[in-house]
């Protein structure tokens, strides 16, 4: 029973948070200062997601095979390697290091 309640609360809460912005502020061009902030939300959030996926495990900061894999992928991207190939390089580097360890 408690589990079902947990699932319901999480589901409703998530949808609320995802749709609040689109419903309240959708389709209108906000004033210039807000527009400039909105333009920077994506770089901020994406950067935070990259750091989370590369250096964290739960609440711990870790430098492990993932950091090496992402580093290899980043170098590949910098030299204009297509994204899918860069992802492959990162996965191979990461898997090899994990296999070696």
Partner 1 sequence: MPLALPIAAVGMSFGLLAGPLLGAMPSILMSAVVWSGTAQFAALSILTSGGGTALAASAGLLANTRFLPMGFAIAPSMTGGPLRRLLRGALLADASFVIGHRGGGRFDISALAWAAPMQYVTWVGGTVVGVAGATAIGDPARWGLDVLFPVFYLSLLLPDLFPEHIQAARHRARRQGDRANRGRGHASSRNLRPIIVAVLAAVITLVLTPIAPPGVPVLVAAAAALIGIRPPPQPVTRAGAGDDA
Q: Verify binding: residue 13, partner 1, rule CB under 8 A.
A: yes
The count of residues interacting with partner 1 (CB under 8 A) is 76
- Least separation in angstroms between CB 4 and partner 1: 7
- Least separation in angstroms between CB 99 and partner 1: 8
Q: Verify binding: residue 100, partner 1, rule CB under 8 A.
A: no
Q: Verify binding: residue 21, partner 1, rule CB under 8 A.
A: yes
- Least separation in angstroms between CB 47 and partner 1: 4
Q: Return the HEC string of the chain.
A: CHHHHHHHHHHHHHHHHHHHHHHHHCCCCCCHHHHHHHHHHHHHHHHHHHHHHHHEECCEECCCHHHHHHHHHHHHHHCCCCHHHHHHHHHHHHHHHHHHC
- Least separation in angstroms between CB 78 and partner 1: 8
Structure tokens at 59: 């609440």
Q: Scan for tokens 């994204």, then name that residue.
A: 83
Radius of gyration of the chain (CA): 19
Binding positions for partner 1, 29-88, rule CB under 8 A: 29-30, 32-33, 35-56, 58-61, 65-66, 69-70, 73-74, 77-78, 80, 83-84, 86-87
């Amino acid at each position: 029973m408690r589990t079902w309640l947990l699932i319901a609360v999480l589901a409703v809460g998530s949808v609320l948070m995802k749709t609040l912005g689109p419903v309240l502020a959708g389709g209108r061009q906000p004033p210039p200062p807000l527009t400039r902030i909105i333009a920077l939300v994506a770089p901020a959030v994406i950067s935070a997601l990259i750091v989370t996926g590369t250096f964290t495990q739960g609440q711990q900061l870790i430098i492990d095979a993932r950091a090496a894999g992402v580093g290899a992928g980043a170098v590949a991207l910098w030299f204009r390697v297509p994204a899918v190939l860069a992802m492959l390089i990162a996965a191979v580097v990461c898997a090899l290091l994990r296999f070696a360890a």
